[in-house]
Amino acid sequence: MDSKIKDLNEKLELAYQGGGSKRIEKQHAGKKLTARERILYLLDEGSFEEIGALVTHRTKDFGMENQQFYGDGVVTGYGTINGRMVYVFAQDFTIFGGSLSETHAEKICKIMDLAVKVGAPIIGLNDSGGARIQEGVRSLGGYADIFYRNVQSSGVIPQLSAIMGPCAGGAVYSPAMTDFTIMVENTSYMFVTGPNVVKTVTNEEVTSEELGGATTHATKSGVAHVTAINDVDGLEQVKRLLSYLPQNNTETPLKLPYELGDEIRKELIDIVPDNPNKPYDMHDVIRGIIDADSFYEIHKDFAENIIVGFARL
């Protein structure tokens, strides 16, 4: 029994190393956290329980039988955020560029199924180059399974996506189908095909940032609801956004403690000018109605003629 426990611990240690020290160093050099670092920062300390840590792909073609990594490029499990149960998956770019294989997809689907069964939010930390080309249609079938669960979960549990690296091809559809998408500036991208393909097909030269960067999706396409300056800020945005959402469609949002203060907001009287042609900031109106510092704006830079967001009263 001791030998089996030792063997298990050795395999788990290999799983924790992802794609190896050199690839982890490269991830850090790109100002990005690893998949495990992201999960451990997001969840309450000591709360993460991993599922499928020792899963490997089943591909034997193209020399893939000699390239086996425990976890197969995605870390999945559950834990708590401020005491609330959540399910989470984080794609590991240090393993095959976070590409989606058949088993990679099965791990994500299992977590999504458990989230619906329990009635808890699902959070995806996306950092993937798309389908694993060595697996062909089996990889694409995995995307279909994930999309189906996105649809079935819609309106049942909150689905949050954080884009924390270059996501291309099939990797961008699922996040776009979730309830909220958060993108990290300068390190995350979302596009079906990259700049090289665009140049080949249309002879148009465009950068990754122009084609699918955080600013582009936050201002033009509207796919990104919130942007963050780095990985840590992105994870903090996930935490804050989650605080406004219920666990599922049968529960109400969390009520936070509130100290009763001066509920007569005299400043509201002076915000709207007597001159109907004089502009005023609707943010001042919102802040004058809600609890102090409780407004969380969504789509801040998209369709700026309207303001939407969450607040507490």
Predicted local distance difference test score (pLDDT) of residue 268: 84
CA 63 – CA 35 distance, rounded (Å): 25
DSSP-derived secondary structure letter, 253: P
Q: In CATH, what class is 10-242?
A: alpha beta
Q: Domain limits of the chain? A: 10-242, 268-310
Residue-by-residue pLDDT tens, the chain, 313 positions = 778 898 888 888 888 888 889 999 999 999 999 999 999 999 999 999 999 998 888 777 777 777 888 999 999 999 999 999 999 999 999 998 899 999 999 999 999 999 999 999 999 999 998 888 888 888 889 999 999 999 999 999 999 999 999 998 889 999 999 999 999 999 999 998 888 888 899 988 999 999 999 999 999 999 999 999 999 999 999 999 999 999 999 999 988 777 776 677 778 888 888 898 999 999 999 988 888 889 999 999 999 999 999 999 8
Work out whether the CA dihedral 257, 261, 263, 269 comes out positive or negative. negative
Predicted local distance difference test score (pLDDT) of residue 2: 79
CA 297 – CA 45 distance, rounded (Å): 28
Predicted local distance difference test score (pLDDT) of residue 261: 67
How far is C-alpha 86 from the geometric centre of its chain's CA atoms?
A: 13
Predicted local distance difference test score (pLDDT) of residue 26: 94
- Percent of the chain as helix, strand, coil, to the nearest 5: 40, 15, 40
Contact 187, 213 (CB under 8 A): no
Residue type, 190: M
Q: Please measure the distance between the N-terminal and C-terminal CA atoms of the chain and give it in whole angstroms.
A: 58
CA 192 – CA 180 distance, rounded (Å): 19
Q: Are strands 84-91 and 122-126 parallel, antiparallel or unpaired?
A: parallel
Distances (CA, A) of 275 to 78, 268, 279: 55, 16, 9
CA 154 – CA 173 distance, rounded (Å): 14
CA 126 – CA 67 distance, rounded (Å): 22
CA 243 – CA 124 distance, rounded (Å): 17
CA 136 – CA 89 distance, rounded (Å): 23
